[in-house]
């Protein structure tokens, strides 16, 4: 009977050990997935910033082009007024 109790005790210790190992593996997987999600989020934010910067640059170029067009229109209007008819 004593031998059976020893086997039973060892089996209980083994199962407790396996449960701890399973828990640690699960926690490792959770942390790994969390880190991956964070990296994807940071990459998405960086891409969003790049797109936003590009949009701002395009808007600035458009505004500069509009100002240049207005300047050229006014110069053309001045020249048309100075030409004798």
Please write the tens of the pLDDT for every residue from 21-58.
999 999 999 999 999 999 999 999 999 999 999 999 99
What is the distance between the alpha carbons of residues 67 and 45, in angstroms, rounded to a whole number?
A: 33
User: What element of type H or E holds 85?
Assistant: none
The overall pTM is greater than 0.75 = no
What pLDDT shows up at residue 56? 95
Cα separations in angstroms, 49 against 44, 57, 58: 9, 12, 14
What pLDDT shows up at residue 81? 66
What pLDDT shows up at residue 69? 93
Average pLDDT over residues 5-26: 92
Work out the number of other CB atoms within 10 angstroms of the CB of residue 62.
10
């Amino acid at each position: 009977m004593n031998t059976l109790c020893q086997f039973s005790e060892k089996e209980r210790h083994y199962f407790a050990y396996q449960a701890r190992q399973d828990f640690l593996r699960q926690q490792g997987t959770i942390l790994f997935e969390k880190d991956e999600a964070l990296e994807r989020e940071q990459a998405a934010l960086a891409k969003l910033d790049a797109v936003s910067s590009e949009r701002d640059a395009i808007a600035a170029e458009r505004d500069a082009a509009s100002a240049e067009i207005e300047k050229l229109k006014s110069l053309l209007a001045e020249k048309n007024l100075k030409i004798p008819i």
